[in-house]
Structure 1
């Protein structure tokens, strides 16, 4: 017996020594290749790129992995306990490796012949997820054990648990518990109940097998097992347990929690971030705060859609997508076969294309003034006559049929159609607009883009008309030509003959006979009237008088590129190839007092820890003139300048050798700006602004009087054959451009102009953009005079002339001669202009 005990003792010692020898050998072999655990302290979790509005509404999320890191102190205690019950209930007591768990895994291996579970602790899973592969081999397991021991020596339990909860893969592209809460429940982790927390804790074992979306029954079993373990371990009481296990499975897939639709904006940001940071932009957790205002973006989305539907309804109904009864000649509408028809209709609806704006529907019956429809999900509804009677038959872009008299003139049973839901909840017969549109709104003082829409539906066409569509500007470009004329010495009272003219211009390939859009001629006309009435022949004579080269030189100083402009007289009519964004940027110079600014969209780029970038926009800043004029006197004195869009404080600081406005306060919410270059004489700018106000009160933009504001100005634009319709308008705070046209450059139709196609969209947008804002005007610069003139001659009015009107001039360009040789009285010359005299 003694010998046997000695044998067991020596055998045990030999076995233990062998195990130690093997472990030591494994450690000596593997430890040189182990990574440093210290890197975990500086770990950068792969977090997607997120794009926000300036008021912090999520526009988009880009990246393969959805992840939102959370700190351990922000994590619900029940969640931590649920993961411990499911994965490692001795987490707080073991040194990183649980011997009991490893022995259990070894027994399973011996009894089954294959690896059933790894016996991994939470610490070992951290080691695997951050440093090792998921290959199920013994060498990886040894590395995992060694790393877990190292991790436990260098990090505390809370740090380890935080890494684990943020790193673990939980299915459906969700990495980490916060992302899982958003994916499965559309809520933050702190908003979930115990049953939902336990459901998430059940996912690490097999994210696809126990997924509550893919297999809710199996996921429910796993969840209830975890709740039972929590009860057994004393983590919850019986009341908690009974309440939780009685909860149904409520998980469903929630995509990225997009709070505002602005896909054209989001794509512009994504492209810019890739240019700046490369592929790492998708994984480094960048948070991009744009200049976009969420309420204005929502308005822009809606008015563009409404404007395109208004256009398509003006031109008539092109008919249904198809008629399902005619498509299958074996089907007839009768009582015995009605169910067969319904089955066909439902299948067609399931396969029909739809988007967030237009929904497919099948006409099930037609009455005198009503159409009954079937939508997806077995929803039934009606289209009332006032949502149907627009549908005259489309013949071509210039012609349509008679007004329908009944619903049967438009629809019949079996028609597969498109409908849209109106604000009152009713459905309206619709169709895909063939035209497209762009809307851009910006702050003209610094170029901050407030809203942008690049087309009817991004998900049908990602082509961004705001930045990519090169279109002719038409008459919307005329203000720049007129500004060049005033810059060269002409005045708003200069008389120009509105009469027929013929040119034999080699640059125009033969004889050119331009005309006015209404085919009428007004004879001698003041320059002011020529612009607000958009008279083509006046614009051409104006350009010929000042010269093409001088005009283009002036336009280049404003920021327009020579290559975009034709070097012939057609330039006067807007023969300029520009994107809507380029034209809008040009208008900013008119709207802000003559300063050249650049459009920008990204206000700042942040990570969890720091601000990587903050915009320093070139800003129209008259308050900065003294500093720029006297750079040698600059000190560290600070001067306040007007606030930016974001409302953050802006400090004008002297002392920067490049005359930049810089932040000397060190405050993170202080925006840096750069004084913009003044490229237009402020007096020339003031006169052009004043004339463009007349476009609204006397000219082609009269519809905008509906806004009942006297601080707005703008210009319509229509190109040859109505291929492009524009309206660009502004006040000193908000500048907005609207373009409507066909992608294939075909005509919009004979009666489509900037004033009836684009201007209504602009009005609907600016009604919201300017709501509640006081009227503002650019201040009148020094060196200007207001004189009473004879409107028929442009000269000073004679004393007592009842037809005389006020006009504004640069002082040195003011007229001196008087109509019919009379001498003006002192009362006829005003040194301060009165705006009310214009209206």
Structure 2
């Protein structure tokens, strides 16, 4: 009878175990693979160097077992699971030892878990301490050992275990405590990390160095007892001080913060359908970028040297590669305030003023067959909707070639030409170049940058790069490729596409080079470098705040060389603008000077920036210390009257009456001859000789400015150059 009862109990036990085992697998499934856990992503520069390391709430950098020194592995085994390589996934002796301890304590105080069980628990099960969870853990561990090798399990464990200071896994912990890779750890350092597994907060060496040292020595004693190290190794490790070293903040990452922000934002946008920010921060991605430190540093130096008038004045800059659209430098403001904060280079939306003329007027006109010498009318005219654009100097040159209209930024001529070719044609061409337009933009002020939503420096740089690239447009991008943790390519940078005829791009380059060589963009001139570009300025909004003031809101310069395109914006944030904080210069002033400085640094790195390499004409200081560049009349230094002493007119004049409600009016136009300040306001600066001015004082030749026909407002013919 007793025998039968024993057999029955045994059978019932087997059935219960089988049922539990079946339940565990069929209803809970198998443990997740180690690759599914969160792991850090890395951003690389163009040379393949690590630029920045990304992680979310979990800081984890998985490594292969072979990268972890044997003594470090042995330290964890000695203190956590000394029979790891002998048991089948569950250590019966450890379980009975824990059972006795729990009965004595009358609560579940010990787990008796092996490393395999800990892998099951951390990868698969919830952390609560219950008998049912423990049963699941045991059965899964037994099965897991049949499908995974001991080394695979140990690798999973060492990459998952939490070791304090926000570090998950031995690689992250090695950086957190010793500022080195796990492969460089000594025996003593490995023992310290192993000792943290019991209570990371309690044994944190930064907080409790004495307790951490005691715990480390306990681990070393265990290793000696188990024959994993000899007495000499033990004594040497015992004598080694903690030698803690917190990881240094990456100064380069701080310096390149705006660029890194752009990379992160771009990666999240590109992968939004695959997981977005969670994948970017926790997916173990390799994010390969076009970043070149030397170019970013040149941009930073140019900005630092710019001499902004006050601490509130802001600026932004984007430098892109003409051929590929790759972003090479980003400056999103005077200071970087927060990770993924507001980036004026990419998120700012402001009216572009006259820098928009090539995109909405002259580009589409060249596509239709117009050329630099084609005559257009610079005349006063009121159009059907009542819109009557003015030139900033109030004069009109009559019939002039396009090259002169661009050279002196003649507003009336640009609007006249847009009216001739059609607003829709201008909008379509601008859209091809990556400009987002809305139906409300379909009006003649489009010629002068009268946009409802505005544009960013990034958009303007991308658009102008198409002219530099022979008519091929490539969406500006910082990221070249994104590879996931399994080696799959998730994203590849876009390739250029043709958006205009090559002849259109060549014509545009011709007229824009002339604007820099002898027009409103003269301060962007760089000796020995062919520079093409356009200035742009928008007037103060016509509101009560600025009543009676004559000044500007936005100043732009967008230009390019044979290799790079750069867009520069200078202005104030909307919240900071008041009667004391507005621009007293134009796009041909500080923005063009920043462009000049950057391009000079890129093309002439071995030559110091000297007086001869400065932009033509010194920049006289205004009443509030801001610059007053002679954009409209580069033939003489300091020829622009101080704002408030003249009627600036305006490219779009009373834009708010023409469905443009953002309050900015473009005013980037040629100034009337004779509007010259006293010579004392403009220190003489010479520049290298160019063109046909040999024998004259060194410097860019003073261009021959057009004289408006006497006694007439238009109709007179202008000789084709």
TM over 0.5: yes
Unaligned stretches of 5+ in structure 2?
541-551, 607-702, 704-716
Shift of 1:126: 1.6
Match 2:410 to one of 519, 530, 535: 535
Contact 2:283 2:485 in 1 (8 A): no
CA RMSD of aligned residues (A): 3.7
Contact 2:389 2:415 in 1 (8 A): no
**Which residue is equivalent to 2:372?**
492
**Which residue is equivalent to 1:667?**
none
Cα pair distance change 1:257/1:104, threshold 3 Å? farther
Match 2:202 to one of 209, 225, 232: 209
Match 2:322 to one of 426, 444, 455: 444
* Pair 1:185-2:64 in alignment: no
| CA shift digits 1:543-592 (9 cap, x unpaired) | 45545455445445555455277444433332233222222222122111
**Higher strand proportion (structure 1 or 2):** 1
Contact 1:717 1:726 in 2 (8 A): yes
Match 2:363 to one of 461, 467, 483: 483
* Pair 1:269-2:144 in alignment: no
Shift of 1:303: 4.0
Shift of 1:683: 2.1
Contact 2:389 2:412 in 1 (8 A): no
**Which residue is equivalent to 1:53?**
45
Contact 1:85 1:226 in 2 (8 A): yes
**Which residue is equivalent to 1:702?**
522
Instruction: Give the distance between the partners of 1:29 and 1:147, measured in 2 at CA.
Output: 13
Give the 3-state SS of the residue equivalent to 2:274 in structure 1.
helix
* Pair 1:467-2:346 in alignment: yes
Instruction: Give the distance between the partners of 1:64 and 1:20, measured in 2 at CA.
Output: 48
Deviates more, 1:433-442 or 1:250-259: 250-259
Instruction: Give the distance between the partners of 2:160 and 2:80, measured in 1 at CA.
Output: 15
**Which residue is equivalent to 1:596?**
473
Shift of 1:693: 1.4
Cα pair distance change 1:751/1:241, threshold 3 Å? same
Deviates more, 1:545-554 or 1:143-152: 545-554
**Which residue is equivalent to 1:662?**
none
Unaligned stretches of 5+ in structure 1?
1-9, 316-432, 620-675, 774-804, 806-818, 822-837
* Pair 1:35-2:25 in alignment: yes
Cα pair distance change 1:687/1:191, threshold 3 Å? same
Shift of 1:689: 0.3
| CA shift digits 1:277-318 (9 cap, x unpaired) | 1265144323222333343334445544554xx21xx34xxx
Contact 2:333 2:344 in 1 (8 A): yes
Contact 1:38 1:154 in 2 (8 A): no
Instruction: Give the distance between the partners of 1:80 and 1:15, measured in 2 at CA.
Output: 48
Cα pair distance change 1:109/1:713, threshold 3 Å? same
Cα pair distance change 1:100/1:562, threshold 3 Å? closer
Shift of 1:82: 0.7
Instruction: Give the distance between the partners of 1:112 and 1:246, measured in 2 at CA.
Output: 37
**Which residue is equivalent to 1:731?**
561
**Which residue is equivalent to 2:679?**
none
Deviates more, 1:549-558 or 1:271-280: 549-558
**Which residue is equivalent to 2:287?**
288
Shift of 1:475: 1.5
**Which residue is equivalent to 2:535?**
716
Contact 1:59 1:258 in 2 (8 A): no
Shift of 1:474: 0.7
TM-score, with length taken from structure 2 = 0.72
Contact 1:565 1:575 in 2 (8 A): no
Match 1:683 to one of 489, 499, 503: 503
Deviates more, 1:152-161 or 1:265-274: 265-274
**Which residue is equivalent to 2:670?**
none
| CA shift digits 1:632-671 (9 cap, x unpaired) | xxxxxxxxxxxxxxxxxxxxxxxxxxxxxxxxxxxxxxxx
Contact 1:263 1:458 in 2 (8 A): no
* Pair 1:515-2:411 in alignment: no
Instruction: Give the distance between the partners of 1:250 and 1:232, measured in 2 at CA.
Output: 25
Give the 3-state SS of the residue equivalent to 1:63 in structure 2.
coil
Cα pair distance change 1:258/1:751, threshold 3 Å? closer
Give the 3-state SS of the residue equivalent to 1:754 in structure 2.
coil
**Which residue is equivalent to 2:156?**
163
Shift of 1:221: 1.5
| Matched length | 586
**Which residue is equivalent to 2:573?**
743
Shift of 1:452: 2.7
Instruction: Give the distance between the partners of 1:769 and 1:719, measured in 2 at CA.
Output: 29
* Pair 1:755-2:588 in alignment: yes
Shift of 1:31: 0.8
Shift of 1:224: 1.5
Give the 3-state SS of the residue equivalent to 1:227 in structure 2.
helix
TM-score, with length taken from structure 1 = 0.63
Instruction: Give the distance between the partners of 2:12 and 2:176, measured in 1 at CA.
Output: 46
**Which residue is equivalent to 1:358?**
none
Deviates more, 1:159-168 or 1:31-40: 31-40
Shift of 1:15: 12
Contact 1:198 1:226 in 2 (8 A): yes
**Which residue is equivalent to 1:243?**
236
Shift of 1:712: 2.4
Contact 1:35 1:131 in 2 (8 A): no
Shift of 1:728: 1.1
| CA shift digits 1:587-641 (9 cap, x unpaired) | 122111112332233322212322233425232xxxxxxxxxxxxxxxxxxxxxx
Cα pair distance change 1:562/1:40, threshold 3 Å? closer
| CA shift digits 1:310-366 (9 cap, x unpaired) | 21xx34xxxxxxxxxxxxxxxxxxxxxxxxxxxxxxxxxxxxxxxxxxxxxxxxxxx
Shift of 1:458: 4.3
Give the 3-state SS of the residue equivalent to 2:567 in structure 1.
strand
| CA shift digits 1:395-446 (9 cap, x unpaired) | xxxxxxxxxxxxxxxxxxxxxxxxxxxxxxxxxxxxxx32333222222223
Shift of 1:181: 1.5
Instruction: Give the distance between the partners of 1:243 and 1:701, measured in 2 at CA.
Output: 70
| CA shift digits 1:783-826 (9 cap, x unpaired) | xxxxxxxxxxxxxxxxxxxxxx9xxxxxxxxxxxxx999xxxxx
Contact 2:481 2:493 in 1 (8 A): no
Contact 2:555 2:585 in 1 (8 A): yes
**Which residue is equivalent to 2:610?**
none
